[in-house]
Each structure stands twice: as C-alpha cells, then as structure tokens.
Amino acid sequence: MIIRAMKRKSLRLGVTEGGDVEVKVPLRCPKNELIAFLNKHTDWLELRLEQLQSRQQVQREQMLYLGQVFRFQQSSQKSKQPVLLGETCYYPQSWDQDNLLAKIELWQRVQSKELFQQLIDRWWPHFSQGALISRPVLRVKKMRSRWGSLSSKGYINLNLKLLELKPEIIEMVVVHELCHSHYFDHSKNFYRLMAEKLPHYKELEAQLKQIEKGSAY
Ligand SMILES: [Zn+2]
C-alpha cells in the first residue's frame, strides 16, 4: 500500500501486522525515486516479512495466557469452550483450524471482560470516596501503545493483551488506572496513592518493563 502524505519529507517503509507492506511517500515523490528506495530496502523487507511469518506461526500454535504458555490442541471431548489443562489449551472440536485465532480472540475477550471487571469490582471500593468520577465503565480494546487508560468521562479502557500477563501485573495496571480517578496526571500525589494501595507496585512495574522490552510491545 502506498500512502501519499502531504507533510512527509522522506520515504518510510513498514510492514503491518496483517503482512501488508506500507510505504509512506511525500506528495511529490518521483516514481523512480520510489523504485530506487524499494530496491535498496528489499533485504530489510524480506527479513521483516520472515519475522512476521514466524511470529504468526507461533501464534497459531500457542498462546500466552495469564503469564503461562498453552499449546493449542483440538479437544477429543465435546466441549463448547476451550479448556486449559496443564500446558495445553484444548479447543472445541467444532472449531476450524483456519479461524482458530479469531475464535480464540473472541473467547479471550469474554475472559478478559470477566477478569478485568472482577478486579475493578474488588478495587473500586478503595477508590470511590473522593474520586473525580463515578464507578468507571470497563471497555476492553486492542491497543497498540498502552495497557490502559481512564477517561474523565468515566471509562476505564484496558488492553486485551493484558490477558497475556500474570494476574499480579494485570492487577497493578487496574490499580494504576483507578488511581487516575483521583489524579489524572502522574504527579507525586498519584504515585503516593499508588504506593498506598499497592506497596509493591514498583517491582511489578519493573517486571512489565522487562516484558515490554522482550516483545514488540
Ligand atoms: Zn497512568
């Protein structure tokens, strides 16, 4: 896909998660310049496409769920939902291999809503007094660059990808967002409240940073 952008001064090449090659091009870029640019970067492009393919291969074989790896295997039992046993995720017989990931994602959405809501319900009573908003309404989203956010309108947005992390870290993110119900910034007061509610939050934050470093996140 070629995107011509008014304000761009240089060419930029990228590969989307879906495997599309994207070139961002200044509005007035001559065709031969574009071709020369693409020729120069074919090796890089091949490498990125290979990396994407192997990542997608891994995604078809296993999932990360609450900090643990589960390998996919079709169930021999008649179940309607995936069953996690040991290190295996047994998915229903009726699920097609081709759309396994889409089915898994739908299931993960249900799981995440349930788990995140439980955490909010458990923690909100510790925040409700003096909060700048009323009880936040949960929205689970796929987000590229953040784990969560709290809007002044009272929505707590949590990243579906949090479900990959171990429960203590998910809890830390929820508590962080709920602290925003008192302070919308990351001021000293905000962190004082965070430390009061979750004294070991720094350790969990450090663990999350490590996880971010190790993935594309
Ligand atoms: Zn924050």
What distances in angstroms separate CA 67 from CA 72, 85, 117, 167, one per listed residue? 16, 15, 19, 8
Of residues 96 and 173, which shows the higher confidence score? 173
Whole-number Å distance, alpha carbon 105 to ligand 1 midpoint, is 26
Q: Are 120 and 139 in contact (CB under 8 A)?
A: no
Task: Report pLDDT digits (tens) over 85-137.
Answer: 999 999 999 998 888 999 999 999 999 999 999 999 999 999 999 999 999 99
Centroid of ligand 1 to alpha carbon of 186 (angstroms): 6
- Alpha carbon of 185 to ligand 1 centroid (Å): 7
CA neighbor of 171 nearest in space, from 144, 137, 134, 208:
208
Each residue's pLDDT tens digit, 184-206: 999 999 999 999 999 999 999 99
Q: What's the rounded Cα separation, in Å, for the pair 36 and 49?
A: 20
Q: How far is CA 69 from CA 189, 205, 214, in A?
A: 37, 21, 15
pTM of the predicted structure, to 2 decimals: 0.80
pLDDT at residue 6 in the model: 63
Return the HEC string of 27-64.
Answer: CCCCHHHHHHHHHHCHHHHHHHHHHHHHHHHHHHHEEE
| Structure token pair of residue 139 | 């929205």
C-alpha of residue 206 to centroid of ligand 1, in Å: 15
Average pLDDT, the chain: 92
Q: How far is the CA of 181 from the centre of ligand 1 (A)?
A: 10
| Distance of CA 167 from the midpoint of ligand 1 (Å) | 19
- Model confidence at 146: pLDDT above 50: yes
| Distance in Å, CA 39 to ligand 1 centroid | 43
Rounded-to-integer distance, Cα 126 and Cα 107, Å? 30
Q: For residue 141, which amino acid is it? A: K
Q: Contact, 159 vs 141, CB < 8 A?
A: yes
Give residue 43 CA to ligand 1 midpoint distance, Å.
39
Whole-angstrom Cα distance, residue 217 to residue 213? Answer: 7
Question: Residue 208 in contact with residue 172, Cβ under 8 Å?
Answer: yes
Say whether pLDDT at 141 is over 70.
Answer: yes
- Residue 164 clears pLDDT 80, i.e. is over it: yes
The per-residue pLDDT for range 18-58, each reduced to its tens digit, is 788 888 888 888 889 889 999 999 999 999 899 888 888 88
CB 103 within 8 A of CB 81: no
